[in-house]
Amino acid sequence: MTLQNALTGINDHARGALPPEIFAILDADRRRAGNPDSAQVGARIENFELPGADGAPTSLGELIAAGPAVLVFYRGQWCPYCNLTLRTYQQEVHPELGKYGATLAAISPQRPDGSVPVEDLAFPVLSDVGSTVARGLGLSYPVSQPVREAMEALGTDLEKVNGTWELVHPAVVVVDQDRVLRFVDVHPDFVTRTEPAEILEAVKSL
């Protein structure tokens, strides 16, 4: 089964489990036209230092010390699509990266004390509170009022978990040791994500 098939399965379940009016709002939001004004392959990313769940910082410099870094931007622990994606990357991407001297890190706008998914992960899970790094890559955006109300109805208050009503488009970027973006894949539709094979091919091609 591909990652996309599994994500579609989660969405099909949500369609039947959520109140129809709530699902309709969230579904319309993910289908909105247009792509984010994201960074392109060949651009350089600024160095950063972000805290993990334990508060200990990790810098981009550390991640690319021995080779390229795969940075996975995700919405937060509360997002079931994100949790499935991170678990899949742990199983199918993380074990293969050592062959290429590459590292994997996940980044979300959640505060450090709430950023780690239920299952412990073998790679850094970092908190980009305020979306500073994501904004620099053109990945952040303000949540619309209808979506905000829908999320609040489901018990997700981004003001508490993120500090602001701002989200990031799910994305995978591969950064080389010169901090140059060598692969960029952004998903305004949060039900779609980068397949593991695409990530490994991008790293292998460097």
Q: Looking at the chain, how many residues does it have?
A: 206
Asked if pLDDT for residue 70 goes beyond 90, the answer is yes
188: enclosing H helix or E strand? none
pTM for this predicted structure: 0.94
Which pLDDT tens digit goes with each residue over 145-194?
999 999 999 999 988 888 889 999 999 999 999 999 999 999 999 999 99
Torsion of CA 131, 136, 138, 140, to 10 degrees: 10
Give me the pLDDT at residue 120, please: 75
Average pLDDT of the residues of the chain: 92
Which pLDDT tens digit goes with each residue over 36-64?
678 899 999 999 999 987 788 999 999 99
